[in-house]
Amino acid sequence: MTAPERVAAIDCGTNSLRLLVADVDPGRGTLTDVVRRMEIVRLGQGVDATGWIAADALARTLRVLAGYADIVKAAGARSVRMVATSATRDAANAGEFTRGVTEVLGTGPEVITGEEEAYLSFTGATAELPPGTAGPCLVADIGGGSTEFVLGEAGVVTAAASVDIGCVRMTERHLRGDPPDPAQVAAARADIDMALDQVAARVPVAQARTLVGLAGSVTTVAALALGLPRYDPERIHHSRIPASDIHRQAVKLLRQPHAERAALSVMHPGRVDVIAGGAMVLDRIMVRFGCGEVVASEHDILDGIAWSLADGVAAS
């Protein structure tokens, strides 16, 4: 049996930059956190409209990444993998981002496809689901720029799709009011539903018996639905939230002005302006695919990246 391997995984999304240093033991099937960090850097600021990563967004990201590089070195991780997703896929100046990351981290980022992102998310979300979870599972990873969908069971993926309906993209494209007006909400709903039609054409979602929701939009809405006095990952992880509660929270968030959302005790400051868009995406997924509840997971693509680095675990 192999000894646990200390690895470092970095996920650079449209909205956040996250780090996981973990001890992964493929033989026992365990992943033990050593360090887990998240910072809102909003790398995808304006990318949907301009096609370019903004200079200030790049500077913010590299500044946080430098701190992560120090943590990785101090922790003694044997291997590092950094994955970049939607905003970087879409940006015309992605090369500038890659050069900056290489200078700071000593290794370049992997700009992966939406399908590759989906597979990593599935691995991270399902590797440690509670025994007896009904399969197949449909994993939905709601990011800043895109949302990934993966259907699978027992570690075997059946189908995957990635569509451009992330919380930042929906906010910048449609939900610009404070709060957004009915016309803006209707436009966002139509955009989301059109994307979900594409998902339904590529993924046999009717086969799914469990919906697993990932990323900050899902876990924040779950925290609100649970009525938590503060953000508590242990309470949120693997909680089961009924569709009616998700819908109630989505409607409430869409109607609240920025100041009211900012005052919510579970709200990260970097999610205040985009949480309504993320909640709306989750709500429309559950309506479109007839899901009665969602299992909220704190484990996602970051954990999938860590698993991919361990001995005996192939990268997706």
271-289 per-position pLDDT tens digit: 999 999 999 999 999 999 9
Question: Which residues pair with residue 25 across a beta bridge?
Answer: 30
Token look-up 């709200």 returns 267
7-42: burial string, b at 16+ Cβ within 10 Å, e else: bbbbbbbbbbbbbbbbbbbbeeeebeeeeeebbbbb
Instruction: For residue 288, give the H/E element and its range.
Output: helix 275-288
Please write down the HEC assignment for all residues of 232-252: CHHHHCCEEEEHHHHHHHHHH
pLDDT at 188: 96
**215: which DSSP letter?**
S
Contact assessment for residue 278 and residue 292, using Cβ atoms and an 8 Å cutoff: no
3-state SS, residue 64: helix
- Name the pTM for this structure: 0.82
**282: which DSSP letter?**
H
pLDDT exceeds cutoff 50 at 314? no
DSSP output for 153-209: ETTEEEEEEEES--HHHHHHHT--SSSPPHHHHHHHHHHHHHHHHHHHHHS-GGG-S
Q: Which of 307, 199, 277, 305 is nearest to 15 (CA)?
A: 277
pLDDT digit string, tens, across residues 143-194: 888 898 999 987 788 999 989 999 999 999 999 999 999 999 999 999 999 9
| Confidence band, pLDDT 50/70/90 cuts, at residue 2 | low
Q: How far apart are CA 245 and CA 162, in angstroms?
A: 26
Work out the mean pLDDT of the chain and round it to a whole number. 90
pLDDT exceeds cutoff 50 at 315? no
All structural domains of the chain, each given as residue ranges with its CATH number in brackets, are: 5-113 (3.30.420.40), 129-297 (3.30.420.150)
Q: How far apart are CA 139 and CA 149, in angstroms?
A: 6
pLDDT at 34: 94
pLDDT digit string, tens, across residues 186-216: 999 999 999 999 999 999 999 999 999 998 9
Other CB atoms within 10 Å distance of the CB of residue 310: 22
Find the mean pLDDT for residues 105-120. 84
